[in-house]
């Protein structure tokens, strides 16, 4: 019976990790796609920055990084709960 509680905890932690991390990842990918489209448009119009200006990518925002850290911690907790489930059962 106790093993099922560990399994339930693993499932809940994994679901929470996805629920917390997925919106941050989706927002990041959307922003990257939009920035890439802007770069392409400016290059097409001949107004792209000259030289090695590189990409307009800014990376993750602070809020996105925090959400991804929380999601990673929940993912680790899910794996640990799953390991305890296998050890107990």
CA distance 5 to 9: 6
* Per-residue pLDDT, 8: 97
* Per-residue pLDDT, 36: 74
Residue 44's φ and ψ, nearest 5 degrees, are -65, -40
For 26-74, write each residue's pLDDT tens digit: 998 888 887 777 777 777 777 776 655 555 567 889 999 999 999 999 9
Q: Where are the domains of the chain?
A: 6-44+59-88
State pTM to two decimals.
0.76
Q: Which two tokens stand for residue 46?
A: 């001949």
* Per-residue pLDDT, 57: 64
For 7-39, write each residue's pLDDT tens digit: 999 999 999 999 999 999 999 888 888 777 777
* Per-residue pLDDT, 34: 78
């Amino acid at each position: 019976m106790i093993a099922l509680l560990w399994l339930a905890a693993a499932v809940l932690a994994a679901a929470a990790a996805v629920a917390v991390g997925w919106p941050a990842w989706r927002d990041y990918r959307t922003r990257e796609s939009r920035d890439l489209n802007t770069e392409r448009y400016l290059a097409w119009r001949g107004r792209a920055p000259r030289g090695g200006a590189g990409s307009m990518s800014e990376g993750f925002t602070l809020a996105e990084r925090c959400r991804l850290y929380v999601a990673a911690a929940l993912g680790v907790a899910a794996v640990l709960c799953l390991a305890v489930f296998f050890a107990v059962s």
